[in-house]
Structure 1
């Protein structure tokens, strides 16, 4: 049986800029940048997982706004990335889990970091859409 595991990522916008998070683990991903997020747990909707993961990873309250069209395979069999645009409601993001740096990127700066390969198309698509 092929189990399909959805990982949600947040194109988190605040004041016209998108948040990028630099991985600190695992070693093969460390130092590269991603959209923050994580695995959808059993019985959880993707939007709920996104809000929970942002709370756990960054210590913020956010709202999932719109699913970005597309789905991207991740490095592990059965894992796929779905991305949602999101807006910051409360708090100042801090790298609490699996990250060692955060950076807000304006529209002209999105290629200033070394995004993980699977995040690149989602970042480009999120940047083309209206920001929440």
Structure 2
């Protein structure tokens, strides 16, 4: 699993998340994942099945997060906006501190084995 640590100047600094971002007008959630990965990590992914969709209430507002299974198609993830990226096995996902909105997806991945 590709995990990305939020930059120290961002909201939720230093916490980990699955890479992605906001959906822009006129694009689907899958298209947003492809674009965000290309922009933030300089690589290409194929977006697969949806894993889960959850909403988390932060003090700055509600975040709805849809997590997809993806496959790296070209390039190698490169840090541009995050502090760090790591490839982790599902059994290693509990070794880092996750952004609260990502925790349900982490649990779903761990449960799936």
Give the TM-score taking structure 2 as reference length: 0.88
CA contact (8 A) 1:85 1:126 kept: no
State the partner residue of 1:95. Answer: 79
C-alpha spacing 1:49/1:27, structure 2 compared with 1 (3 Å): closer
**Structure 2 counterpart SS, 1:81:** strand
Cα deviation, residue 31, structure 1: 1.1
**RMSD of aligned residue pairs (Cα, Å):** 1.8
Q: Does 1:105 align with 2:82?
A: no
Distance 1:61 1:29 in 2: 26
C-alpha spacing 1:38/1:65, structure 2 compared with 1 (3 Å): same
Matching residue within 104, 115, 119 for 2:98: 115
Gaps of 5+ in 2: none
Distance 1:118 1:27 in 2: 15
Cα deviation, residue 123, structure 1: 1.5
State the partner residue of 2:2. Answer: 19
CA contact (8 A) 2:42 2:77 kept: yes
CA contact (8 A) 1:40 1:46 kept: yes
CA contact (8 A) 1:74 1:81 kept: no
Cα deviation, residue 25, structure 1: 4.3
Matching residue within 50, 63, 66 for 1:82: 66
Q: Does 1:48 align with 2:48?
A: no
Cα deviation, residue 85, structure 1: 1.0
CA contact (8 A) 2:55 2:62 kept: no
